[in-house]
Amino acid sequence: MKTLCLLTLSAAALLSLTLFVDTASPHHSTAIYDSGNPVELRGTVVEWRFVNPHCIIMLEVIDDNGDTAIWSLEGSNTSLLIRRGWTPVTLKTGDEIVVTVRPLQSGAPGGNYSNPRWEDGTPVDPRG
Amino acid sequence: MRTLTVMIFTIVAGLSASPQNTRQEGRYPDWSGQWERIGSLNWPPEGYAAAGPAPLTEEYQAVYEEIQELRGNGILAGDPPATCLPPGMPRVMKMSFPMEIIVTPDVTYIIADWESQVRRIYTDGRDWPEYLFPEFNGYSIGEWHDENGDGLYDMLSVETRGIKGPRSIDSTGVVLHENDQTVVLEELRRIDENTLEDRITTIDDAFTGPWTIHQRYNHATEDVLWVEYVCAEGNRHIKLGDEWYFLNDAEGILEPTREGQPRLVPEAQVTP
C-alpha cells in the first residue's frame, strides 16, 4: 500500500526544479542542499504542518531495499501558500504524494521539497 | 511678584513650544496599508548578477568565501535567521514578507510579518541615549522633511545605531562585521501612489565604504492579509556547538547535514 521509491529526476523535472533555486531565499539559504542531485520521493504523508518558517511534510518513504524512513522535509511558507489557496488540511495523514526533493548532503532523510503532486501527477497546489 | 511673573511666563512659553503644540498632526503622510518588497531577495534589489558583488573588504571577502565552502559541505553558515534569530537591521527592510507602517507624530512603527518584527523610529526630537542597549533592529531616530515645500511632510530620514549581531545582509553569505558598529541611514519617501522607496545606506566595517540601495515596496491592494510568523514552529535547523543538524522530530532525532557526521539520537532511543 505504501509503494514508494526514490527516482532520478527527468530532464524536464530538473528544469522545473531550477525554477525554485535562488541564490537568496526568504528565510535562509538553500545552498546547503544537494541541488545537483535532486530526487523524487513517493511516499505517505505522516504529518503536514502548515507553519512558518517552512510548511513541513513528514513523509514515510520505502526505498528500493524495502527499508522505511520518515523524511523530514521543509518547503515554502504560509504567507505564500495561503495566497495560493493552501490550508492546514490541504494534505492529510495517509495521503500518497510525490515531491521533488533537494536532499541533505549527508544523505540523511531530510531536505527541501518543491512541486508536490498527487499520485496521478496533478499538482497539490490549488493554482497548479 | 516679579519672580511669579517670570515663572508663569516660563510655563506658558514652555507649553506653547512643547512638541505637543507643534506637531501639526495634519502634516504627516498616510503610509498605512500593506507594502510588499519589489525586486530580488539579494540585498541589491536588482540582484547581484546585475548590481555586481557586495563591496566587501579583503578580510570579509575571505569570510564570504569560507562561508561558501562551508555551505558546499552542508553547513548553513552566515545566515543567522536560519536558526530563528531575527534578520536585524538593515536586512529586515528587505521584507521577505509584507510590512505595515504606522505614522504617529512621536514614533513611526514599521511592522514586519517576517519574524513578527517591530521597528520604532522616534521622531519626538529626542537625542541618543547615553547607553544604547544592543538590539537586532537597533535604536532609530528619525526626522520628517517637507521636500516639495507644500507644507506637508513627505520624507522620513532615519539613523539607526546600537545594532546587535550576528547579522547578514541577505541569505547569500554576506555577513556584517562582528564588531556590530553598523550605522544605517535611511530616507523613506512615497515616490508615487503605489510605491514607497527606502534609500538605505549601510556603513559597516565589513564593507569598503557606505553601501546604498534603493529598495522599493509596492502598495498591495489585492490579497491583503497578515500572516503570523512564529519561527520556532517549523524550523528544522539546529546548531549545537560547531555542528549543524536537521530536525527530524517524527523520528525523534537530529539528522546530520554534512557527510561523515553522525546522527544525534537521544540516549533513550539507543539500544544497548
**DSSP assignment of chain B:** -HHHHHHHHHHHHHHHTSHHHH--GGGS----SEEEE-S-SSSSTT-HHHH-S--B-HHHHHHHHHHHHHHHTT---S-GGGGT----TTGGGG-SS-EEEEE-SSEEEEEETGGGEEEEEE-S-PPPPSS---BTT-EEEEEEE-TTSSSS--EEEEEEE-B-S--BSSTTS-BPPTT---EEEEEEEEEETTEEEEEEEEE-TTBSS-EEEEEEEEEE-SS-------GGGT--EEEETTEEEEEETTTTEEEE-STTPPPB--GGG---
A→B contacts (Cβ < 8 Å), by residue, are: 22-29, 31-32, 46-47, 49, 51-56, 58, 69-72, 74, 77-79, 82-83, 104-110
Question: Can you give the residue ranges of every domain in chain A?
Answer: 5-46+57-75+94-118
Give me the residue from A22, A29, A108 closest to B76, CB to CB: A29
> Across the interface, which of B84, B234, B237 has its CB nearest the CB of A56?
B234
| pLDDT tens column, B136-182 | 999 999 999 999 999 999 999 999 999 999 999 999 999 999 999 99
Give the mutation candidate from A22, A30, A32 for the B interface (greatest B CB count, under 10 A).
A32
User: Do residue B258 and residue A105 have CB atoms under 8 angstroms apart?
Assistant: yes
Please write the tens of the pLDDT for every residue from B205-256.
999 999 999 999 999 987 789 999 999 999 999 999 889 999 999 989 999 9
Architecture of the domain made up of B25-219: Beta Barrel (2.40)
Residue pLDDT, tens place only, B44-55: 999 999 999 999
ipTM for the complex? 0.82
Please say if the pLDDT value at position B22 is more than 70: no
Q: pLDDT tens string for chain A (128 positions)?
A: 333 444 444 433 433 333 333 334 667 778 789 989 999 999 999 999 999 999 999 999 999 999 999 999 999 999 999 999 999 999 999 999 999 999 999 999 999 999 999 999 999 999 98
Query: Which of chain A's residues have a Cβ under 8 Å away from the Cβ of B41?
Result: 22, 24-26
User: What residues of A are in contact with residue B223 (Cβ under 8 Å)?
Assistant: 83
The structural domains of chain B, with segments of one domain joined by +, span 25-219, 236-269
